[in-house]
Structure 1
Amino acid sequence: MTSYCTATYRAFDEKADFHKKAAGIAVGLTVGSWTELPEAKKKDMEKHLGKVVSVEVHEPEADAAPGSLAAQRYADIKIAYPDANFSRDIPALLVTAFGKLSMDGRIKLLDLDVSDDFRAACPGPKFGIAGVRERLGVYDRPLLMSIFKSVIGYDLPELKEQFYQQALGGVDLIKDDEILFENPLTPIEKRVEACIAAAREAEKHTGQKLLYATNITGRTSQLRAQAKKAIAAGANALLFNVLAYGFDALQELAEDPEIDVPIAAHPAFAGAIYPAQHYGVAPQLLLGKLMRLAGADLVLFPSPYGSVVMPKDETLAIADALKQPEGALKSSFPVPSAGIHPGLVPVLVKDFGRESVVNAGGGVHGHPMGAAAGGQAFRQAIDAALRGEALEEAANRPGNEQLKAAIELWGVKR
């Protein structure tokens, strides 16, 4: 029995016969031609022929705002591609479903529903939400992540001190900046050794475990060696710029049994792929489903409220793609990011729930009382949000002066 992976597209055109276009896609991206084939050959080729699943045409609405989706003529098209046509890897699937087609006018890839056979070839997250929580021993609240800032040009003692101050704030994870590459001042083994030593020292004061997501960079052929080098030095998590390297590179890392630490996927370069209405790949597929399928345990993406803003419906769709039940595939932590401060915590918890990560850079380092106080302010805000208490009330509790200073500086998002 033939199994299929199904792609969903949104094609825009004022005059096109969308049913004819769908038939052309199904044939053109699989067997190339059909009506010209002899009948005997059709029997042999049918198992390779793409199939039109559905075509839903949307005509413009007369009273719609100019430029809005409702004001345009488009069709949502579903095409099923036989698994027999491609190898069981994400690059092969992407080239089949949207390689040449991505250059064929105004068309956007909205979704990919993979077959059970294809999914079986993808490991998904090695740890997932449950496994990351188990490593940290934290089960009842959103996790808190902080980010190194101003790391280029810093030496190891400076980096270690910055890490230590963040760790004192009670964060659960600290990640490298995505632009921190291998360099003479902070080579990966020495960087890991210094930061893990700082984590152990901070744990004596905070009493909590901490994951350090070390940025894995370099030539693609050397990524696994770099990851293992970092782990040998003590790294207990990895950060990876997935879209610069490709989903297959992430899958190689996730599949390797010697890389036994959670992997956080950074969205760098995603803005070149998802934002256009008429082109590219929908964010819930790019940063949600495919990241999870390839093996990311945590996935960063722009939040709806910070400094790099993504529409709220898109961010929620990403989070849903990362967490919704998907057979044996483990769920991944959604990490809405960019411009996050303690005053945003209630809306983050409301919109993304407990199974999410609050991720902050400037919201930690920019705290008027220092980075340690910045982390503490976030923890106080998370506790208040879970109690259903207004941050202004929580800020007046004894011992919550860190939260008070944070909301005096940044305010509270309603």
Structure 2
Amino acid sequence: MNDVIGTDMYRDSRYIVATYRLRDRENRLAARAEGIAIGLTIGTWTDLPSLRKEQVAAHCGQVQGIRVIDATEAGDVIAEIDIAYPVANLDATFASLLTTVFGKLSMDGEIRLERLSLPEAWERVYPGPKFGVNGVRERYGVFGRPFVMSIFKACAGLTLEELVDQFGEQASGGVDLVKDDEIFFSEAHATAAERVVAYREKARQIAVQTGRETAYAVNLTGPVHLLREKAKRLADLGAGALLFNVVAYGFDVLADLARDPDISVPILAHPAVSGALYGSPNYGIAADIVLGQLMRLAGADMGIFPSMYGSVTLGGEATDRLLAHLRKDSVHRKVLPAPSAGIYPGLVPQLYRDFGIDLILNAGGGIHGHPGGARMGGQAFFDAIAAVQEGVPLQDAAVDKPALAAAIAKWGVRA
């Protein structure tokens, strides 16, 4: 038993190392760790005959470290345990990965998967992003600044004509992308294919005035076995991107889409349902694993996650860890982060400080709630971007920028 992480194991391409945070009695930690290592791999050890032990030894989990990090008034301790799992136990699916490192263990009381270390050779079994940051920039012709993305905020029940009008209002502000609301599943009034065709025509008309053709991120929905063909058709019809509810459908479904060479558009990953996995500090899987590490491995080109600024927040430390997964040097392309919720033009200087230019300014209310409507809401973001790039305070830039001035009057500027 080691008191610290076995660094040699982290470099060993034969193992995936999972770190868990749990509560238990200190004198039970060693037995608890051993139980996890064996229980999630070979099931038992002591009752096996010698020949069988030799056969399964290469498949047995190994305890790599135990650290006490806090104590409770009740006499328990909060500890971290590192377990190494042989990659020989897995196939090339996220189902096998997640079941191995946290399957039945996720139901074993107060325990949380905090970190997951995969050897480079194993990362390669997953597709990763098809486009990544550089590919998305090339695709949309956006360089040297963040992207601006607007969100449909009224979808269900509207006719195609009404939806086109709403798309046009958003696109007229010059935004780079307009994405569906992730809850837009019904195609009773307008199918996804009809929307793609109609929005693209509208975008081309508006581009004559704005000089920029707005892309449409269509919500990819339907039965799992039909998704690949639907995605191909939407891409062929001119979809700018595919919005995908990854956690609801599963990481393996995303990976299947990302691997297909005929699906020729970027994938925008939505975090719907993910809070059920990361929402508790004592249970589940850390947010940076769910929304960062696994999203990148599975093939998201752009990733939406709760910002640090709105009513639904992720927190600065968790955001830093998530960004590290999206941006670290890796065998896979880097992912564009899209911090969401509470994004408004007066926040742009802070977003530059926190994220740099490789990000998506993803705004719903911050565009639609503008006093001048969605067109001016989009323009206000571009005014704010220009001011930051020129080194001019937003209040000074707003003197001759009515869209930005109205946004500041409504929402202010984050200091």
User: Would the TM-score normalized by the shorter structure come out above 0.5?
Assistant: yes
Q: 1:14 to 1:241 in 2, by over 3 A?
A: same
Letter in 2 for 1:139: F
Choose from 53, 61, 77 the match for 1:50: 61
1:56-75 aligned within 5 A? 56-60=67-71, 73-75=77-79
Matched, 1:409 2:410: yes
RMSD over aligned Cα atoms: 1.8
Residues 176 and 215 of structure 2 are in contact (CA less than 8 Å); yes or no, is this contact kept in structure 1? yes
1:357-376 aligned within 5 A? 357-376=360-379
Q: CA deviation at 1:72?
A: 7.4
Q: Which residue of 2 aligns with 1:382?
A: 385
Write the distance in 2 (CA, Å) between the matches of 1:111 and 1:172.
35
Q: CA deviation at 1:35?
A: 2.7
Matched, 1:17 2:28: yes
1:47-196 aligned within 5 A? 47-60=58-71, 73-196=77-200
Matched, 1:340 2:343: yes
Residue ranges of structure 1 left out of the alignment (5+ in a row): none
Q: Which residue of 1 aligns with 2:7?
A: none
Matched, 1:26 2:37: yes
Q: CA deviation at 1:355?
A: 1.0
Residues 129 and 297 of structure 2 are in contact (CA less than 8 Å); yes or no, is this contact kept in structure 1? yes
Q: Could you list the per-position Cα deviations for residues 268-323 of structure 1 after superposition, in whole angstroms to 9, with x for gaps in the alignment?
A: 11111111011011000000000000000001011011232221221222122111
Please identify, of 35-44 and 124-133, the stretch whose mean Cα deviation from structure 2 is larger. Answer: 35-44
Write the distance in 1 (CA, Å) between the matches of 2:232 and 2:136.
19
Q: Could you list the per-position Cα deviations for residues 346-397 of structure 1 after superposition, in whole angstroms to 9, with x for gaps in the alignment?
A: 111111111111100111111111111100100111222233322111111x
Please identify, of 165-174 and 205-214, the stretch whose mean Cα deviation from structure 2 is larger. Answer: 205-214
Residues 128 and 297 of structure 1 are in contact (CA less than 8 Å); yes or no, is this contact kept in structure 2? yes
Q: CA deviation at 1:219?
A: 0.9
Secondary structure of 2:285's counterpart equals coil
Write the distance in 2 (CA, Å) between the matches of 1:30 and 1:314.
29
Matched, 1:227 2:231: yes
Residues 237 and 262 of structure 1 are in contact (CA less than 8 Å); yes or no, is this contact kept in structure 2? yes
Letter in 2 for 1:279: Y
Q: Which residue of 1 aligns with 2:245?
A: 241
Secondary structure of 2:144's counterpart equals coil
Q: CA deviation at 1:17?
A: 2.0
Write the distance in 1 (CA, Å) between the matches of 2:91 and 2:186.
33
Residues 18 and 57 of structure 1 are in contact (CA less than 8 Å); yes or no, is this contact kept in structure 2? no
Q: Could you list the per-position Cα deviations for residues 27-62 of structure 1 after superposition, in whole angstroms to 9, with x for gaps in the alignment?
A: 111111123323333222111011111111123389
Letter in 2 for 1:410: W
Letter in 2 for 1:337: S
Secondary structure of 1:244's counterpart equals helix
Secondary structure of 1:375's counterpart equals helix
Secondary structure of 2:284's counterpart equals coil
Write the distance in 2 (CA, Å) between the matches of 1:364 and 1:35.
63
Q: Which residue of 2 aligns with 1:256?
A: 260
Identity of aligned residues (%): 49
Where does structure 1 differ by over 6 angstroms across 4 or more consecutive aligned residues? none
Write the distance in 1 (CA, Å) between the matches of 2:13 and 2:276.
35
Residues 172 and 209 of structure 1 are in contact (CA less than 8 Å); yes or no, is this contact kept in structure 2? yes
Write the distance in 2 (CA, Å) between the matches of 1:5 and 1:209.
44
Residues 13 and 119 of structure 2 are in contact (CA less than 8 Å); yes or no, is this contact kept in structure 1? no
Count matched residues.
Answer: 404
Secondary structure of 1:369's counterpart equals coil
Q: Which residue of 1 aligns with 2:277?
A: 273
Q: Could you list the per-position Cα deviations for residues 85-122 of structure 1 after superposition, in whole angstroms to 9, with x for gaps in the alignment?
A: 12111111000110100000100011222233321211
Secondary structure of 1:317's counterpart equals helix
Write the distance in 1 (CA, Å) between the matches of 2:115 and 2:178.
32
Secondary structure of 2:371's counterpart equals coil
Residues 67 and 80 of structure 2 are in contact (CA less than 8 Å); yes or no, is this contact kept in structure 1? yes
Write the distance in 2 (CA, Å) between the matches of 1:282 and 1:136.
32
Choose from 217, 237, 244 the match for 1:213: 217
Residues 316 and 351 of structure 1 are in contact (CA less than 8 Å); yes or no, is this contact kept in structure 2? no
TM-score (normalizing by structure 2): 0.94
Write the distance in 1 (CA, Å) between the matches of 2:213 and 2:131.
17
Residues 13 and 120 of structure 2 are in contact (CA less than 8 Å); yes or no, is this contact kept in structure 1? no
Residues 182 and 217 of structure 1 are in contact (CA less than 8 Å); yes or no, is this contact kept in structure 2? no
Matched, 1:395 2:391: no
